[in-house]
Structure 1
Amino acid sequence: MLRYQCEDVVRFWNSKKGEELSSGQKVGRIQLFDITHRNKDGSPTEAAKIMIYLLNKI
């Protein structure tokens, strides 16, 4: 995991949404990818846009 991804994950787990999810729920790979591939303003990165496109094709 790259440093900025680790920082994003820590920031997420400290957020209200992260606390709700950490109450015993497992986080899937797609959800973790979504969490770690966001810009600071919350918009998806280019990699996330591609993943969203591919998920919509399934």
Structure 2
Amino acid sequence: MKSPCNDICTIDRPSGLCVGCGRSLAEIGEWGSASSCRQREILSLLPYRMEQLATKSRR
């Protein structure tokens, strides 16, 4: 499965999430060895996280 990385690799310190893809450092680290099921699980979390990051940046 293709990584959600889009080369905007900056970690939001308060949340610990990448502002480019929404993954945590642990999720980024495990991506290459994660099962397809785990990768889909991570991907399912990203839309909500990205919305949270976007909302936070508008404040």
| TM-score when normalising by structure 2 | 0.30
Which protein is richer in strand relative to its size?
2
| TM-score when normalising by structure 1 | 0.30
Which protein shows a greater Rg? 1
